[in-house]
Amino acid sequence: MNNRVHNFSAGPSALPTEVLQEMQESLLSYRGCGMSVMEMSHRGDLFMEIIEEARTRIKRLYNLSSEYEVLFVQGGASLQFAMIPMNFIGEGEKADYIETGTWSTKAIAEARIQNKGVRIAATSKAIDFTGIPTALDLSPDAPFVHVTTNNTIRGTQWHTLPETGNVPLIADMSSDILSRPMDTSRFGMIYAGAQKNMGPAGTAVVILKKEMLKKIPATLPTMLSYRTYVEKESMFNTPATFPIYAISLVTKWLEETMGGLIAMETINHRKADQLYGCIDEDDFYAGTAVRESRSLMNVTFRIRDHALEPIFIERALKAGLAGLKGHKSVGGLRASIYNAVSEGSVGALCDFMDDFRREHR
Amino acid sequence: MNNRVHNFSAGPSALPTEVLQEMQESLLSYRGCGMSVMEMSHRGDLFMEIIEEARTRIKRLYNLSSEYEVLFVQGGASLQFAMIPMNFIGEGEKADYIETGTWSTKAIAEARIQNKGVRIAATSKAIDFTGIPTALDLSPDAPFVHVTTNNTIRGTQWHTLPETGNVPLIADMSSDILSRPMDTSRFGMIYAGAQKNMGPAGTAVVILKKEMLKKIPATLPTMLSYRTYVEKESMFNTPATFPIYAISLVTKWLEETMGGLIAMETINHRKADQLYGCIDEDDFYAGTAVRESRSLMNVTFRIRDHALEPIFIERALKAGLAGLKGHKSVGGLRASIYNAVSEGSVGALCDFMDDFRREHR
């Protein structure tokens, strides 16, 4: 598309160009109604249709049963880190958290700040979070097991979710939601900030099993109780209407253009295989994650000669490849290849990497 | 503007057409960078400039001293209702709340849910919130006095703020922020959901006096402590980037097109005077708020013959005048004439109202 860069940002990140075009066309008048989606009452028919479409498409994409509710909550995954223990860890209970990097560490911290019971059921801290832990020490009495399905900073991902028996899984899927089919029946809750695979920043999507509502204390602040979002259909107050509109368009694109999650997963595998293949070709580049934990969403790597990395980033940007700098806490390089990053963009990156290698070998 | 309606919605509500046009033009590539504002890292230079511009313009519009910070917090005013007592009502303290309608009632409820000390320092409940209370019973020991400066549902507004001595004012200005100049030095905190006078839904703006930070307990959940937003410059996690971008454009429009808050107030007075003048002309229409408490933002009125109201709403919509239905809890009619509603729109409404009166007298 004219002047669009190949966007490998870790989040906020690329949106499908078709989605942006549709937003652009309707920005001053949505479906001829004479106002922007940003300007309309969230309780009017037009917006009610939009939020219902976003909800319905997410339910359909994941084949969610009627036991699940789809909620829109502001504050990103970070507010979820606080709400989860507040809502679901009762007096005397200990929740099992699996520690796989910065984001799960932050989730654990928010439970501890509230003096809630927490057990670390597994951690990959010893290998600096470059892999997913294999030995899990789960308690059958835990109210839930918390897992971060994809770790943006180190570029690791759970490819098979842990067996937790009757204990519900709660998963932070901020960086891989809707990127692959999922047996959702195992989850008590799935949550994700929108700004990686679903839309612009401003809302988190929460998929909640209704059974979980029983755990919630009666006296939480209204905006911090999941019960409010279920009872008021995410409309206790004005939700982030424009981000929700974007989610309705992105999920429509996922269903109607990409063909659903099975097709999307195939494409995501193809993109990741191509990029890891390019990295593994020789020892000029090196992936930083343990091979069997490599993420399909965030491909983290280094150049053997680290001094070349700033040159790589600068030259890539000039070639129209943006967002390739690794997270500041670990350095190196990272290409985030979420759903909206096309195979064409990944191909362009691989070509650039091949050229760069040839020049600097 | 072609096909744009006159939008009198109470919120989310009209945005300046020029602002929407600027957003539209840059929707696929902001300033030629090849990506939308929605797609860029919140920590990149381009977005850092945007959030800084939004902050700086708000500071300049209100002549804020360096004692104040401008913060962006997700969750709307409703999350602020919970955060304020959590952060600022200490053990054994009682905060003074002034009850002027639905929104202040909700603010009070969130303090009580947390078992925080609350005193009702004044209420206009006896007159069904159709006016602003005059007799105040303030305590000199209160940690703050909470006031709702404008009440969207009943259409009332404080025209002179209460004298609170050394006790800081905390004001919910969701529906009249940036509509008039304000002696901000009297406030410990001002907050407002963006979606009425500043931008699309998805962020609240909080103006906080640094002195207030001293009150905050050390162990709040990170996302619920104002200290986090001050220390991390509203970037502990990804803020609602696109709504903040919109605020930067709306505040630019306020400064550069409208000429600042003194000029804006003059225009807002002119719009309200014209509309109330039309209502008061005879007894066909009747304003529902006590005259001296009438809001410049939300003009609430009835038709003497209530049965005509649904016809009024339907006919108005056909004439391109949208959002005139009163809040469901009180019925009747309401025209919200926030900053972005032009004098032309108010004129069109008055013409319609005159015609309607002539026909149905």
CATH number of domain containing A323: 3.90.1150.10
Asked whether residue B324 is domain-assigned, the answer is yes
- Cβ <8 Å between B238 and A76: yes
Helical axes A17-25 vs A241-252, angle rounded to 10°: 130
- Cβ <8 Å between B79 and A223: yes
B276 and B253 inside one domain: no
- Across A38-43, average pLDDT: 97
Cβ atoms of A200 and A15 within 8 Å: the answer is: yes
Chain A positions touching B320 (Cβ under 8 A) are 34
Asked whether residue B17 is domain-assigned, the answer is no
Nearest CB among A28, A82, A199 relative to B224 is that of A82
Chain B positions touching A202 (Cβ under 8 A) are 74, 202-203, 240-243
pLDDT tens by residue, B269-293: 999 999 999 999 999 999 999 999 9
B92 by Cβ neighbours in 10 Å (0-12 / 13-18 / 19+) ranks as: exposed
Q: Which amino acid is at A250?
A: V
Residues of B catalogued as catalytic: 103, 172, 196
- Across A92-104, average pLDDT: 97
A334 and A218 inside one domain: no
B122 and B180 inside one domain: yes
Place of tokens 């009440």: B151
Asked whether residue B16 is domain-assigned, the answer is no
B347 and B242 inside one domain: no
- Cβ <8 Å between B82 and A222: yes
- Distance (Å, whole) CA A21 – CA A5: 15
To 5 degrees, how large is the angle CA B198–CA B201–CA B202? 110
A281 and A213 inside one domain: no
B330 and B215 inside one domain: no
Nearest CB among A81, A236, A241 relative to B200 is that of A241
User: 3-state DSSP call for residue B152?
Assistant: coil
Q: What local confidence, expressed as pLDDT, does residue A2 receive?
A: 59
A208 and A311 inside one domain: no
Pick the closest to residue A42 from A84, A77, A74 (CA basis).
A74
pLDDT tens by residue, B147-177: 999 999 999 999 999 999 999 999 999 999 9
Q: What local confidence, expressed as pLDDT, does residue B2 receive?
A: 59
Chain A positions touching B336 (Cβ under 8 A) are none
Q: Give buried/exposed letters for B292-326 (b at 16+ CB in 10 A, else e).
A: ebbbbbbbbbbbeeeebbeebbebbeebebbbbbb
Q: Which amino acid is at A356?
A: F
CATH number of domain containing B162: 3.40.640.10
Asked whether residue B127 is domain-assigned, the answer is yes
φ/ψ region of A226 (left if φ > 0, alpha if ψ in -120 to 50, else beta) reads: alpha
pLDDT at B1 over 60: no
Structural domain span for residue B298: 260-360
Cβ atoms of A133 and A100 within 8 Å: the answer is: yes
Q: What is the mean pLDDT of chain A?
A: 97
pLDDT tens by residue, B292-301: 999 999 999 9
Q: How many CB pairs under 8 A join A and B?
A: 219
- Distance (Å, whole) CA A29 – CA A35: 4
> For strand A187-193 and strand A204-209, is the pairing parallel, antiparallel, or unpaired?
antiparallel
Per the structure, how many domains does chain B have? 2
Contacts of A77 (CB under 8 A, 6+ apart): A103, A172, A174, A191, A192, A193, A204, B237
Radius of gyration of chain B (CA): 21
pLDDT tens by residue, A274-314: 999 999 999 999 999 999 999 999 999 999 999 999 999 99
A277 and A316 inside one domain: yes
Contacts of B145 (CB under 8 A, 6+ apart): B95, B96, B97, B98, B121, B138, B162, B164, B167, B168, B169, B170
- Distance (Å, whole) CA B112 – CA A221: 9
Q: What local confidence, expressed as pLDDT, does residue B38 receive?
A: 98
Q: Which of A224, A257, A290 is the last residue of a domain?
A: A257
B143 and B48 inside one domain: yes
Asked whether residue B1 is domain-assigned, the answer is no
**Complete DSSP assignment for A233-270:** TT-SS---HHHHHHHHHHHHIIIIIS-SHHHHHHHHHH
B172 and B101 inside one domain: yes
Q: What local confidence, expressed as pLDDT, does residue B3 receive?
A: 86
- Distance (Å, whole) CA A59 – CA A53: 10
Q: Compute φ and ψ for B192, nearest 5 degrees.
A: -165, 135
Q: What is the mean pLDDT of chain B?
A: 97
Chain A positions touching B237 (Cβ under 8 A) are 75-78, 193
B315 and B244 inside one domain: no
pLDDT tens by residue, B55-114: 999 999 999 999 999 999 999 999 999 999 999 999 999 999 999 999 999 999 999 999
> Which chain A residue lies closest to B336 (C-alpha atoms)?
A41
Cβ atoms of A235 and A42 within 8 Å: the answer is: yes
pLDDT tens by residue, B190-215: 999 999 999 999 999 999 999 999 99
B1 by Cβ neighbours in 10 Å (0-12 / 13-18 / 19+) ranks as: exposed
Chain B positions touching A113 (Cβ under 8 A) are 219-222
A131 and A57 inside one domain: yes
- Quick one: tokens of A36? 């922007």
- Cβ <8 Å between A238 and B12: yes
- Cβ <8 Å between B35 and A14: yes
User: Measuring CA to CA, how many Å separate A22 from each of A58, A249, A251, B32?
Assistant: 20, 8, 13, 19
Q: Which of A236, A257, A278 is the last residue of a domain?
A: A257
Asked whether residue A301 is domain-assigned, the answer is yes
Q: Which of B257, B288, B316 is the last residue of a domain?
A: B257
> Which chain A residue lies closest to B328 (C-alpha atoms)?
A43
In this structure, chain B runs to a length of 361
Asked whether residue A14 is domain-assigned, the answer is no
pLDDT at B6 over 90: yes
Q: How far does the CA of residue B34 sit from the closest CA of chain A (Å)? A: 4
pLDDT at A1 over 80: no
> For strand A333-336 and strand A298-303, is the pairing parallel, antiparallel, or unpaired?
antiparallel
- Distance (Å, whole) CA B15 – CA B339: 8
> Which chain B residue lies closest to A328 (C-alpha atoms)?
B43
> Which chain A residue lies closest to B41 (C-alpha atoms)?
A12
Q: How far does the CA of residue A165 sit from the closest CA of chain B (Å)? A: 30
Asked whether residue B15 is domain-assigned, the answer is no
* Catalytic status, residue A283: no
